[in-house]
Amino acid sequence: MRKPKEVSAIAPSSAAVARMMTDGVETVEGPILEIGPGTGSFTKVLLERGIAPERLILMELNARFCEELRQRFPGVRVLNQPAQQIGSIGVENLGCVISGVPVLARPQIQREVVGNAFKVMAPDGVFVQITYSPNAPIPEDVQAEMGITARKRGTVWANLPPARVFEFRSRPN
Protein backbone atom coordinates (compact mmCIF):
# COMPACT_ATOMS: atom_id res chain seq x y z
CA MET A 1 0.00 0.00 0.00
CA ARG A 2 3.00 2.31 0.58
CA LYS A 3 4.26 1.78 -2.98
CA PRO A 4 1.22 1.29 -5.26
CA LYS A 5 3.22 1.69 -8.48
CA GLU A 6 5.75 -0.92 -7.35
CA VAL A 7 3.32 -3.70 -6.41
CA SER A 8 -0.08 -4.27 -8.06
CA ALA A 9 -1.54 -6.63 -5.46
CA ILE A 10 -2.67 -5.67 -1.96
CA ALA A 11 -1.38 -8.99 -0.61
CA PRO A 12 0.65 -11.90 -1.97
CA SER A 13 -1.44 -14.52 -3.76
CA SER A 14 -2.69 -17.29 -1.51
CA ALA A 15 -1.45 -20.87 -1.66
CA ALA A 16 -4.86 -21.87 -3.08
CA VAL A 17 -4.46 -19.41 -5.97
CA ALA A 18 -0.91 -20.64 -6.58
CA ARG A 19 -2.16 -24.23 -6.77
CA MET A 20 -4.91 -23.29 -9.26
CA MET A 21 -2.52 -21.18 -11.36
CA THR A 22 -0.01 -24.04 -11.59
CA ASP A 23 -2.45 -26.94 -11.94
CA GLY A 24 -1.33 -29.39 -14.63
CA VAL A 25 2.06 -27.78 -15.18
CA GLU A 26 3.79 -31.11 -14.44
CA THR A 27 2.58 -32.42 -17.80
CA VAL A 28 3.80 -29.41 -19.80
CA GLU A 29 6.85 -29.84 -22.02
CA GLY A 30 9.37 -27.11 -22.71
CA PRO A 31 10.33 -23.99 -20.78
CA ILE A 32 7.91 -22.40 -18.34
CA LEU A 33 7.80 -18.62 -18.04
CA GLU A 34 6.40 -16.74 -15.10
CA ILE A 35 5.75 -13.05 -15.61
CA GLY A 36 5.25 -10.72 -12.69
CA PRO A 37 6.32 -13.27 -10.03
CA GLY A 38 6.56 -10.65 -7.30
CA THR A 39 7.88 -12.42 -4.21
CA GLY A 40 7.49 -15.91 -5.65
CA SER A 41 4.14 -17.33 -4.48
CA PHE A 42 3.63 -19.15 -7.78
CA THR A 43 7.34 -19.89 -8.26
CA LYS A 44 7.44 -21.82 -4.98
CA VAL A 45 4.52 -24.02 -6.04
CA LEU A 46 5.94 -24.57 -9.53
CA LEU A 47 9.11 -25.96 -7.96
CA GLU A 48 7.11 -28.01 -5.42
CA ARG A 49 5.24 -29.56 -8.36
CA GLY A 50 8.56 -30.89 -9.64
CA ILE A 51 9.46 -28.32 -12.28
CA ALA A 52 13.25 -28.31 -12.59
CA PRO A 53 14.69 -24.87 -11.77
CA GLU A 54 16.53 -24.71 -15.11
CA ARG A 55 13.17 -24.95 -16.97
CA LEU A 56 11.79 -21.93 -15.16
CA ILE A 57 12.26 -18.32 -16.32
CA LEU A 58 10.96 -15.37 -14.31
CA MET A 59 10.42 -11.87 -15.73
CA GLU A 60 10.03 -9.23 -13.01
CA LEU A 61 10.26 -5.42 -13.24
CA ASN A 62 11.10 -4.80 -9.58
CA ALA A 63 14.89 -5.11 -9.11
CA ARG A 64 14.51 -5.72 -5.36
CA PHE A 65 12.12 -8.61 -6.03
CA CYS A 66 14.54 -10.00 -8.64
CA GLU A 67 17.32 -10.18 -6.09
CA GLU A 68 15.03 -11.84 -3.56
CA LEU A 69 13.85 -14.35 -6.19
CA ARG A 70 17.45 -15.24 -7.13
CA GLN A 71 18.27 -15.89 -3.47
CA ARG A 72 15.11 -17.90 -2.74
CA PHE A 73 15.18 -20.00 -5.91
CA PRO A 74 18.73 -20.94 -6.98
CA GLY A 75 19.01 -22.24 -10.53
CA VAL A 76 15.93 -20.34 -11.73
CA ARG A 77 16.63 -17.77 -14.46
CA VAL A 78 15.45 -14.36 -13.22
CA LEU A 79 15.25 -11.47 -15.69
CA ASN A 80 14.75 -7.86 -14.60
CA GLN A 81 12.77 -7.04 -17.75
CA PRO A 82 9.20 -6.11 -18.68
CA ALA A 83 6.91 -8.89 -19.87
CA GLN A 84 6.51 -7.06 -23.18
CA GLN A 85 10.02 -8.28 -24.05
CA ILE A 86 9.07 -11.98 -24.05
CA GLY A 87 10.01 -12.28 -27.71
CA SER A 88 13.56 -11.05 -27.14
CA ILE A 89 14.73 -13.32 -24.32
CA GLY A 90 15.82 -16.14 -26.63
CA VAL A 91 13.19 -18.71 -25.69
CA GLU A 92 10.90 -20.61 -28.06
CA ASN A 93 8.30 -23.34 -27.67
CA LEU A 94 7.20 -22.19 -24.24
CA GLY A 95 4.98 -24.84 -22.75
CA CYS A 96 3.32 -22.52 -20.27
CA VAL A 97 3.18 -18.90 -19.16
CA ILE A 98 2.02 -18.16 -15.62
CA SER A 99 1.01 -14.49 -15.40
CA GLY A 100 0.57 -12.27 -12.40
CA VAL A 101 0.75 -9.18 -14.64
CA PRO A 102 -2.49 -7.18 -14.53
CA VAL A 103 -3.91 -7.09 -18.07
CA LEU A 104 -7.57 -6.32 -17.34
CA ALA A 105 -8.82 -3.22 -19.18
CA ARG A 106 -5.37 -2.60 -20.68
CA PRO A 107 -5.68 -3.60 -24.35
CA GLN A 108 -2.18 -2.43 -25.22
CA ILE A 109 -0.63 -4.65 -22.53
CA GLN A 110 -2.91 -7.51 -23.58
CA ARG A 111 -1.51 -7.36 -27.09
CA GLU A 112 2.09 -6.70 -26.05
CA VAL A 113 2.27 -9.35 -23.33
CA VAL A 114 -0.23 -12.08 -24.23
CA GLY A 115 0.11 -11.58 -27.98
CA ASN A 116 3.92 -11.73 -27.83
CA ALA A 117 3.81 -14.76 -25.55
CA PHE A 118 1.78 -16.73 -28.08
CA LYS A 119 4.36 -15.92 -30.75
CA VAL A 120 6.98 -17.93 -28.81
CA MET A 121 4.72 -20.61 -27.31
CA ALA A 122 4.44 -24.21 -28.40
CA PRO A 123 1.26 -24.87 -30.43
CA ASP A 124 -0.31 -26.62 -27.42
CA GLY A 125 1.05 -24.09 -24.90
CA VAL A 126 -1.15 -22.50 -22.25
CA PHE A 127 -1.17 -18.97 -20.85
CA VAL A 128 -2.58 -18.85 -17.29
CA GLN A 129 -3.74 -15.50 -15.94
CA ILE A 130 -4.95 -14.32 -12.52
CA THR A 131 -7.62 -11.63 -12.39
CA TYR A 132 -9.94 -10.11 -9.83
CA SER A 133 -12.77 -9.70 -12.35
CA PRO A 134 -15.50 -12.31 -12.76
CA ASN A 135 -14.94 -12.17 -16.54
CA ALA A 136 -11.97 -13.13 -18.68
CA PRO A 137 -9.37 -10.36 -18.43
CA ILE A 138 -9.14 -10.21 -22.23
CA PRO A 139 -12.40 -9.41 -24.02
CA GLU A 140 -13.69 -11.81 -26.68
CA ASP A 141 -13.02 -9.41 -29.57
CA VAL A 142 -9.36 -9.07 -28.55
CA GLN A 143 -9.15 -12.85 -28.07
CA ALA A 144 -10.47 -13.31 -31.62
CA GLU A 145 -7.97 -10.76 -32.95
CA MET A 146 -5.10 -12.63 -31.25
CA GLY A 147 -6.40 -16.07 -32.28
CA ILE A 148 -6.86 -17.34 -28.73
CA THR A 149 -9.68 -18.68 -26.56
CA ALA A 150 -10.32 -18.37 -22.83
CA ARG A 151 -11.50 -20.89 -20.26
CA LYS A 152 -12.15 -20.10 -16.62
CA ARG A 153 -10.34 -22.55 -14.33
CA GLY A 154 -12.14 -21.33 -11.23
CA THR A 155 -12.48 -18.83 -8.41
CA VAL A 156 -10.54 -18.81 -5.16
CA TRP A 157 -12.74 -17.11 -2.60
CA ALA A 158 -10.13 -17.52 0.16
CA ASN A 159 -7.85 -14.93 -1.43
CA LEU A 160 -7.68 -11.21 -0.71
CA PRO A 161 -9.37 -10.10 -2.92
CA PRO A 162 -11.11 -13.20 -4.35
CA ALA A 163 -9.21 -14.29 -7.45
CA ARG A 164 -10.26 -15.87 -10.72
CA VAL A 165 -7.93 -17.94 -12.85
CA PHE A 166 -8.30 -18.12 -16.63
CA GLU A 167 -6.31 -20.05 -19.17
CA PHE A 168 -5.80 -18.99 -22.77
CA ARG A 169 -4.88 -21.27 -25.67
CA SER A 170 -4.42 -20.86 -29.40
CA ARG A 171 -7.63 -21.33 -31.34
CA PRO A 172 -7.71 -24.60 -33.22
CA ASN A 173 -7.41 -24.07 -36.97
pTM of the model: 0.91
Mind listing the pLDDT tens digit for each residue in 4-35? 444 445 456 789 999 999 999 999 999 999 99
Q: Could you state, in order of their start, the residue ranges of all structural domains in the chain? A: 15-170
Average confidence (pLDDT) over 27-47: 96
pLDDT averaged over the chain?
Answer: 91
Average pLDDT over residues 75-86: 96
Q: Output the CATH code of domain 15-170.
A: 3.40.50.150
Burial profile 59-72: b = 16 or more Cβ within 10 angstroms, e = fewer = bbebeebbebbeee
Strands (E), the chain: 32-35, 56-59, 77-79, 94-99, 121-131, 148-156, 163-170
Mean pLDDT to the nearest integer, 136-159? 94
Query: What pLDDT is recorded for position 38?
Result: 94
Reported confidence tier of residue 2, pLDDT bands at 50, 70, 90? very low
Each residue's pLDDT tens digit, 106-129: 778 888 999 999 999 999 999 999
Assess whether pLDDT exceeds 70 at residue 36: yes
Distance, C-alpha 104 to centroid of its chain: 13
For residue 105, pLDDT beyond 70? no
pLDDT given at position 1: 38
